[in-house]
Every structure is written in structure tokens, then in C-alpha cells.
Structure 1
Amino acid sequence: MSKAAERGEAEVALQAAGFGGRGTPERLGGLTNRVYRAGGVVLRLPGQGTEAYIDREAETVAARAAAVAGVSPAVLHADAASGIMITEAVDGVTMTPALFAARPGAAARAGAAFGRLHRSGARFTARFDLFAMIDDYLAVLAPRSVALPPGWDAVLAEALGLRPLLGAPDLPLAPCHCDPLCENFLDTGARMWIVDWEYSGMNDPMWDLADLSVEARFDAEHEAEMLAAYFPGDPPAADLARMVLLKAMCDLLWTLWGLIQLSDGNPAEDFRAYADGRFARCRALMAQPEFAAARDSLLR
């Protein structure tokens, strides 16, 4: 589809939802969806194949609750059947790993936003269960001719051995974003907004912190800044240990997600390289001494 045709489709969607006449839609980012800004609103058109693994009803519940919690823009229109969503626009800088490193206080603002979300008392309808999602993603890939990375079976076996530690029924659950890609953060310099609630659900809150640390490539200083803004006091040792383990598990899960994008023919980027890079980092994280130390501390 040409850019002109894409803009035309966006204009039609805005008009149908009652938000027409706001000027030519400007294409923004997005790995799986097409996102446009028109005037003071942002339009999300769902990507091909996303209906196989995204619950749009649950996404809408989460996006509205996150707005009430003050961490996400207000939802102005949501159609679960089509996947079309329109939200208020936020005049913030779309973050990247480099911007998280360069903008003073950005890691702290992200940590504070997660704190507001996780302690908001919201109840998301979806449950983000790492091991169930691994099973689901493998089931999606099973009939497709996409090769898993070399060494996958051994890494998966080690990861599944963590289920008693990371999937225990007594672990705390909180409303979580679950996909804290840097580009899902908009920074005003005074406040960090979080957008895109497709993968959100009730989850171990350490997932959000672990995943952002990985996505933003935080060094020890920036990670400490995020944690200081998130925790009201000293971080509990068990939380920090789970965070270490979950950093690797984030890369494991998103390896499979990347392979699904590859099998869907998503042209947004080279998803073979994306998946292989994720898997390589997962293996590297699992090989670090702190990974074994965190696992052993939780076993005691």
C-alpha cells in the first residue's frame, strides 16, 4: 500500500469514528501497527495478524485504567472488533535507549510512572503469564515454516526450570504494561507517559522493570535511578533477584514474538535478525554469574 493510500485509510478511520477534519494524518512509529497523529489525537490501526495473539477487549480495559492512573493518555475511541483505537495526543519526546541515557531523570520518571501504575489498584482483565505465553507463541509458530534459533531447546529447558520461582501462585500481581519498549514512553521532561497496552495484564511487577532495563540498555547507574524512584524504600532482595531472572526471560519471550512477526511477513524491520539478537542476549544474560546467584537466592 502506498503512503497516500495509507493516509487515506487513516482519514477514513478517523472520519468513521467522529474525529475527521483534523488535517492530514502524520505517520508515527510502530513495529506491528500503523500509528498516526492528526491534530490532538492519535489513531492506531492494527497490524496484520495481530488478532491471533492480541485481546482487544482486554487492551481497552487496561488502556482506560492506565489513563485513570495518570500514566497514559485518555482513550477517546476503541473498537475491539476492528482493533482501531484513538487516544489523546501527548506532546512528549518518543524515547529511545540513547534518549534514556541522555535525558536527565528519564529513568527515574519511568520508574515513578511504573510505581503509580502498579500501585493504582487497577484490575486488568488479562493475565500476562510468561510460561503460558511461551506455550501460546510456540503453538502459533508450530504450523509455520520458521526455524527456532540454534540452541533453543537447551535454553528453553533451563527457562522452564524457573517456573517454580517466576510462576509461583503466591507471587504478587499488579497491573503491568508488559511491553516497555522505549518507543512506548513519551517524556515531557517533567512526566513520563506510557502508551500501547496491547500486551498488558496482571503480572509480576518486576517484569516491567526488568524489561525496560533491557530495552533501554540501562547501565547500573540508570537502573539504580529507576529503582530508587520506584521503591519507597530499599528494594526487597527477592524482588531484585526476580528482576535479574526476568531480564533474560524478556528476551526469550520476545525472541518468539519476533519469529511470529517474521512468519507474518511484517516489513517493519528484519525480524530474523531481531529474533536472533534477542536470543543471543538471552543466552548471554543466563550465562552471567548474577543470573545463577539470583536463581540460587530464590531457591533458598
Structure 2
Amino acid sequence: MVTDEARAALDAIPMLAGYSGPLERLGGLTNLVFKAGDFCLRIPGKGTEEYINRANEAVAAREAAKAGVSPEVLHVDPGTGMMVTRYIAGAETMSPEKFRTRPGSPARAGEAFRKLHDSGAVFPFRFELFAMIDDYLKVLSTKEVALPAGYHDVVRDAESVRSALAAHPLPIVACHCDPLCENFLDTGERMWIVDWEYSGMNDPLWDLGDLSVEGKFDAAQDEEMIRAYFGGEARPAERGRIVIYKAMCDLLWTLWGLIQLANNNPVDDFRAYADGRFARCKALMETPEFSWHLAAIHRG
């Protein structure tokens, strides 16, 4: 059934119409992704149009390819969300385990982020944490799904984060914003980044904090990524922003998980996903280190 859908999608794309070779299902939490020869086909998942702007994604994917951090975009339909990119041969799709076992991979991810952030690319969307929380809450208000107990209390507590970040804002740059491990493809020499659905102009250190969370990085992996990104030591305020964003990405993606739950996405147990992310967010915000990092950001 799923393969039939992929065949039909391929036949609707002139450059791939009539392709009869093998189709290999690749990873993806919300979308259907297939390898078709030298190409990669992405079919958008059910309900994603509620919270993803496909026209913005199309621009970002092309800009990221121009920046040299993402595969070439060969076809994209902003109306349907269908996308075809060049398949990166010999690259491993990353996971938390692979980030632990592939030597140098955290550094290569840091270098890829640096290349993207320094590229001068301009993405059409502004990824603004607190506005996105409000937007996701609006989506959830139309669905029958319960927020974790105390969610709104933690959002109120996060006003201290908003204040600290606003005191010394960094220039916003083109960011991936959703650095799930599986969105990284590693050749061993170069790290590629794919899937630009949530990308936008953002504080660059969001990407580092979020990847650390998604990859379950330990202190050594964090240090490797940070030093590769900065080309050396990071200032306390920069490290502080990375830690703060570790908590804030969990606060935001808790809501994303609940949207998947409401949309009956079968890929994962999204109730456990959302509850786990929210618990991790609260635990980090309650540590003395979190307050110390907030103070470091305030000092600038």
C-alpha cells in the first residue's frame, strides 16, 4: 500500500515518471521517505499541513543546498509537499548510537552548523520559540488531547528565559531548528543535513542545544561539537544559551508530540514521547546549573 503510494507519486513527477527500479523505505517520524535509484523521494505525512509551510520549506531546502550542507533539490511541489533530492551515496543515517560510535561525528555536525550559519542564507520563516509554543497550543486547542500536568506553569516560568535571551540577543541566521539525529547523513568526512520542514531564521545556538538533546550527547560529545563549531573555546554566555535551549526545545517539542498523538501518527508512542520530553525539561530547569547559565546569559 505504502509502496503503491510512492510509485504513484513518482509517476506524477516528470523526471521520475516510469521509474520501475527498487524502492527502499528510509527513516522518518512523520513523512514517507524512499530511495529510488540515485534519488530520494519525500511524501509528506498526514496532517503535517496544519503546522508546516511547504513553500517556506522549499525555499530553505534550496538555500541549504546552495550553502553546501544539504543535498541538491531536484523537484519540489510547495502545494503538495512532494520533494525529490539527490541521494547521498555512502552516507550513514545518524542516530544517538552512531553519534557515540562514529569517531568525529559530533565535530562534523558542529562544522556543518557553522557552515550553514555563516552562509548568509536567508530562510523565509522566523523560528521564534514562544510564538511557536502559542501556535502549537492553538492547534492543540482544536483536538482532544491533554497537556502534561503543569505545562502552562512551566511556560510561565520560562519567562525568565525569554528575558535573559532578550537582554543580549544574537543576530538571527539560517538554522535547521529540528536537528533530529536521523536528519544527519555522515560520510565519515562530511556531515550532510536534511529535512528543512521546521527551518527558519533563529538564534544559531538553538541548533547546538537541540542536537545535544536529540543525540543524548554526554559532556565529551558536547565539548567536541562546541569546539568544532566555535573553532575553540566558547564564552560562558554562549554555553549558557546552548544549555537553556536544551530545556526549551523539550518544552516546544512536547507540543509537537501531542499533535502527532492527536493525528494518530503510528510511528511512535507519542504520549510517552511528549511526557518524557516535558519531564526532562522540568528536571533541567530545576537544577542550580540552569540558574547559573541564565545568569551568564544576562551578563552577556
TM-score by length of 1: 0.96
Distance between the aligned counterparts of 2:166 and 2:180, measured in 1? Answer: 23
Shift of 1:237: 2.4
Tell me what 2:10 maps to: 14
Tell me what 1:123 maps to: 122
**Is the partner of 1:199 in helix, strand or coil?**
coil
**What letter is aligned with 2:85?**
T
**What letter is aligned with 1:80?**
P
Distance between the aligned counterparts of 1:233 and 1:78, measured in 2? Answer: 38
Shift of 1:16: 1.4
Shift of 1:168: 5.8
Distance between the aligned counterparts of 1:299 and 1:168, measured in 2? Answer: 6
The RMSD of aligned alpha carbons is 1.3
Distance between the aligned counterparts of 2:159 and 2:77, measured in 1? Answer: 36
Shift of 1:241: 1.0
Runs of 4+ in 1 over 3 A off after TM superposition: 167-170
Q: Is the 8 A contact 2:238 2:297 kept in 1?
A: no
Tell me what 1:63 maps to: 61
Tell me what 1:31 maps to: 29
Distance between the aligned counterparts of 1:173 and 1:119, measured in 2? Answer: 11
Q: Is the 8 A contact 1:131 1:160 kept in 2?
A: no
1:41 aligns to 2:30 (yes or no): no
The structure-2 alpha-carbon separation of the partners of 1:46 and 1:167, relative to structure 1 and needing over 3 Å to count, comes to farther
**Is the partner of 2:84 in helix, strand or coil?**
strand
Structure 1 stretch 255-264 or stretch 283-292: which is displaced more? Answer: 283-292
TM-score by length of 2: 0.96
Distance between the aligned counterparts of 2:79 and 2:100, measured in 1? Answer: 39
Distance between the aligned counterparts of 1:207 and 1:239, measured in 2? Answer: 11
Q: Is the 8 A contact 2:167 2:298 kept in 1?
A: no
Distance between the aligned counterparts of 2:236 and 2:296, measured in 1? Answer: 9
Q: Tell me, which stretches of 5 or more residues in structure 2 are unaligned?
A: none
Distance between the aligned counterparts of 1:228 and 1:161, measured in 2? Answer: 28
Distance between the aligned counterparts of 2:65 and 2:152, measured in 1? Answer: 40
**Is the partner of 1:280 in helix, strand or coil?**
helix
The structure-2 alpha-carbon separation of the partners of 1:168 and 1:17, relative to structure 1 and needing over 3 Å to count, comes to farther
Q: Is the 8 A contact 1:11 1:24 kept in 2?
A: no
1:199 aligns to 2:198 (yes or no): yes
Tell me what 1:85 maps to: 83
Shift of 1:171: 2.7
**Is the partner of 1:161 in helix, strand or coil?**
helix
**What letter is aligned with 2:9?**
A
Q: Is the 8 A contact 2:165 2:297 kept in 1?
A: no
